[in-house]
Amino acid sequence: MSEEASKEKRKIKSAKKMRDLMTTYYLDALSASQNNKKVAWITSGGPVEPLVAMDIIPVYPENHGAMIGSAKMGEDLCAKAEDMGYSADLCSYARSDISCAVVKGGPIGGLPKPDMLICCNNICGTVLKWYEIQARYFNVPLFIFDTPMCHTGYSRPVADYVRAQVDEYIRFLEKVTGKPFDHDRMAQVGKLSMEGQRLWQKVLNTTRHKPSPMSAFDAFFFLALIVTLRGTQVAVDFYKELIQEMEDRISEGISIVPEEKYRLLWDNLPVWYQLKWLSNTFSAHQACLVADTYTSAWCGAIQYIDPDRFLDSMAEGYTRIYLNIGVDQMAEQVIQMVDVYDVDGFVMHSNRSCKPYSFGQMDIMNIVRERTGIPVLMIEADMVDPRNFSQSQVETRIDAFMEIVKQGRDKH
Amino acid sequence: MICAGIDIGSITAKAALVRDQELVDTLVIKTGYDHVKAGERVFEQLLKKTGVGREKVCAVVATGYGRASVGFADKAMTEILCHGTGAHFIDPAIRGIVDVGGQDSKAIRLDDTGQVTDFAMNDKCAAGTGRFLEVMANALDVELAQMGEVGLQSQNPSKISSICTVFAESEVISMIARQQKREDIIAGIHDSAAARVAILARKTKLADPVMMTGGVAKNTGMRKALEKHLGFELTTGRLAQENGAIGAAVLASRLSVGS
């Protein structure tokens, strides 16, 4: 088979449909005000289901940040935010979103103006100030959903505190929209959300197969739907099709990396502006990034959610996500993934932007190394701001790391 | 059987020849602007120096930042693997390497067969590299090669608090303005750079015996400062700077045997 034909065969066909769905989603959001619909900006790990139940269109500045990064437009927008007076040490999603709101830049000319902002701090503390800034700029109401850090467990006072906010959240939505909350509709949305998350987990699990039908780089792309359209039939239907395609690839023996020999696990957000280069660099070593700690965060708390008591259990599910638990529990999840996906090495992205994700990585690295014995690589970069990425330095580290991975495999 | 290793670093290009597991000779030249030419030049000059004909060289391995630009090499390998192999070749007892080069510093852990089990490199910052020392030597108007000796004369080392090379330079300039002794400032610079490198060594859990390699190993003041931070002595030889090239040549001979 020619190289072209082989490349064509490996292409994931669902990608086109996914792009179309995302385009439709953004067009709907951008034309919301013409259709008498309200738009809420919400953090990536925020409780979106009540918005969907209220027919409010959720828009994600973080997903937008990822698009800006992938479109390699991060540098200009981050620099613009620095011109406005924001520190270069601030998260690059926050910087690019803040400046984009003003200059209407980026790949889609800025997000639609919000009618309200929903900020959940289960993913980081930066979002509090970031959303306060945007609430002032757009002069719209802001709801803060506060999820205390769960270092060890989920105590009764925490449970009561978070659950009480679910009711406040609903009252907030009723006030902003002037409509009563529909609990029947909420129950349906809750079930769809759960189903979507279960299907997403199933998509990710297809990479347990050797060779893997897709990689973490594909997961970074297909993730957008479980983030933005969680709780909708669209997401459920799409992931069913995607699973089917993956199963077909497995039965036809189509792998994403030609002649996959080594399997790796990725930690932290993607380096959005270098996805292709990173993917090619690992592929050249016959290495496939089969799993990651990032995309699994959108199905990692399923165990806490009961679709029949969605609102009650949602409080716990949203509080106990990967970035809101203790370092030892994070390490435990990584070790489990090393086993489930049978990986030969662990690649950690020390992300200058994402403090909660990157703080504690040294400890996780040591725990994982000690318990599993697999080699671990740490690379320094940033998810959106390319000024914090040095290609030749990262390349040397990857090459040296792969020498160790190969050596380790040869021994066994 | 003769094999060669070429190490193209950011500041110097190194070449080494190995014959039947014995080191023949090495050579160091300035890299200059053209990496491709630097590789050719250092190789040609070493062949001339040793009187070995080019056709006698069975295999060549290239390493260093310019490893991809050595067109005549049979294979490119990272400097981590090459430094590990070089150190094990020179002294099989070595279990760790601290390599401080022109634009990066690294710590490498080895097992008893000389294989690399872990490594750490400096992040995107010149603190703790040869370039940091070069900038400081320039600011202090002292020859880079003399820095080590001068710094060792200090009785009362200055304290450099900036990690950033540019800020540290202005800190040094203000110390000069305050007429602090040159040897004290230099000792402070060595201490600051050594503290950065020691972090890498601790990250990789390096344990005695450790070899210091790279051009900066020639700087005794820096080596002593590093030893103070690590709590044990470092071994170093006269071929510290050429260690990567030597390792590349050894790997080339394995390549040649393998084929």
Q: Domain residue spans in chain B?
A: 2-124+196-258
Determine phi and psi for A291, rounding to 5 degrees. Answer: -155, 170
List of chain B residues whose C-beta atoms are within 8 Å of the C-beta of residue A388: 124
Nearest Cα neighbor of A98 from A109, A82, A112, A114 is A82
Percent of chain A scored above 70 by pLDDT?
A: 99
Sheet holding B75-76, edge to edge: B22-30, B12-19, B2-8, B57-63, B75-76
The count of other CB atoms within 10 Å of the CB of residue A193 is 27
Integer Cα distance of B41 and B13 in angstroms? 9
C-alpha distance from B81 to closest chain A C-alpha (Å): 7
Give pLDDT, residue B256: 76
List of chain A residues whose C-beta atoms are within 8 Å of the C-beta of residue B63: none
C-alpha distance from A381 to closest chain B C-alpha (Å): 9
What are the pLDDT digits (tens) for A144-165?
Answer: 999 999 988 899 999 999 999 9
CA angle B78, B79, B83 (to 5 degrees): 130
List of chain B residues whose C-beta atoms are within 8 Å of the C-beta of residue A362: 203
Q: Give the three-state DSSP class for A150.
A: strand
Instruction: Tell me the helix, strand and coil percentages in chain A, rounded to 5.
Output: 60, 10, 30
Cβ neighbourhood burial of A237 (10 Å; 0-12, 13-18, 19+): middle
Q: Please say whether the beta carbons of A345 and A265 come within 8 A.
A: yes
Integer Cα distance of A256 and A266 in angstroms? 16
Calculate the CA dihedral of residues B29, B114, B216, B16 and round it to 10 degrees.
-10
Q: Give the three-state DSSP class for B130.
A: helix
What are the pLDDT digits (tens) for A157-186?
Answer: 999 999 999 999 999 999 999 999 999 999
Query: Mean pLDDT score of chain B, rounded to an integer?
Result: 92
Residues of A with CB under 8 A from a CB of B: 350, 362, 369, 375, 378, 380, 388-390, 392-393, 396-397, 399-400, 403-404, 407
Q: Which residues pair with residue A150 across a beta bridge?
A: A325
Query: Half-sphere exposure (CA, 13 Å, Cβ side) for A222?
Result: 31
Which run of H or E residues covers position A263?
Answer: strand A262-267
Integer Cα distance of B16 and B63 in angstroms? 12
Give pLDDT, residue A60: 96
Q: Which CATH code is given to the segment(s) B2-124+196-258?
A: 3.30.420.40
For B:176-205, CB contacts with A below 8 A are 203
- On the question of pLDDT at A201 being above 80, the answer is yes
Give pLDDT, residue A2: 80
Give pLDDT, residue B223: 94
Integer Cα distance of A119 and A374 in angstroms? 38
What are the pLDDT digits (tens) for A279-335?
Answer: 999 999 999 999 999 999 888 888 999 989 999 999 999 999 999 999 999 999 999
Asked whether the beta carbons of residue A404 and residue B118 sit closer than 8 angstroms, the reply is yes
What chain A holds in terms of domains, given with CATH numbers, is 7-181 (3.40.50.11890)
- On the question of pLDDT at B124 being above 80, the answer is no
Locate A381 and state its tokens. 């970069």
